[in-house]
Amino acid sequence: MKSSKVYKNICNLSNKYINHHVDINVFGQENLENIDGGIVAINHSGAGERSKDHLLVCSAFGIDIPLHFFVYSGIYRNPALRFVLNQTKQIPVNPGSFASKINKECFKLAKEYLSRDDCVAIFPEGMSSNILKRKQNGKKYYPGLGKLVIDSPTKPIIPVRVDVNSIDGGNFIIPDYNKASVSIGEPYYFFKDMKNIEKYLFNEPGRKEMIEISKHIMEEKVHTLESLI
């Protein structure tokens, strides 16, 4: 796991942007010491096109730990963003169709990056983390995290909780918050539990089982982390 020069340069620019607009508090960076890659499971503080959660997490992890995020493929339509995403080797995904061609390719890429001891980052709640949608429809989990865990069962899961305050204003460029916290939990092995091995690895897991894994990790390991706001 080694950051490219391009990744470091873009990450440095991102950090300047975050530090200019946001007072960010990070807890648990010691949990990143001596890691050989892993699956980074993150909650969304407020999902949507204005979300800057991925930039907050990059800032917390630092420039020496490259992150390959699952990124909505529609964002790649923007030429400038497409250039940055391709240069930093992010992973395009279609959240609306688990079995689509682009998603099959994204999991293939993710498995390859994890085999190189890189970190692959995912927001398993999707847009259901949006506060308004959560109140209306409740929280929803998707199978992506479970699929990553099953495909790379020996890789650790790194739980990350992001929290932000809320202020008036904000737009696509300027965040609608000025305080944020990122809590990084201890690396966790889902298949350290023999019961999980018997249930999920001995048989071919389906979408339901993958969602169960996603839900368990998010509720037991991510949302239980302390908010620093």
The β-bridge partners of 120 are 39, 68
CA–CA gap between residue 106 and residue 112 (Å, rounded):
10
What pLDDT is stored for residue 81 in this prediction?
92
Q: Report pLDDT for 134.
A: 47
pLDDT of residue 90: 97
Report which secondary-structure segment, H or E, holds 23: strand 23-27
Model confidence pLDDT, tens digit, residues 118-142? 999 999 987 655 444 444 455 688 8
pLDDT at residue 161, rounded to an integer: 96
| 5-222 CATH fold | Glycerol-3-phosphate (1)-acyltransferase (3.40.1130)
- pTM of the predicted protein model: 0.92
The rounded Cα 152 to chain-centroid distance in angstroms is 16
Cα-based angle 198, 202, 206 (whole degrees, multiple of 5): 100
Nearest Cα neighbor of 141 from 53, 49, 82, 220 is 220
In the chain, where the domains are located: 5-222
Strands (E) located in 50-209: 67-72, 91-93, 119-122, 157-164, 179-184
* Average pLDDT of span 83-103: 88
Average pLDDT over residues 16-22: 94
In this prediction, residue 169 has a pLDDT band, given cuts at 50, 70 and 90, of confident
Task: Write down the number of H helices and E strands in the chain.
Answer: 8, 7
- Mean model confidence pLDDT for the chain: 89
Q: What gap in Å lies between CA 95 and CA 100, rounded to an integer?
A: 9
Residue 211 in 3-state DSSP?
helix
Q: How confident is the model at residue 49 (pLDDT cuts 50, 70, 90)?
A: low
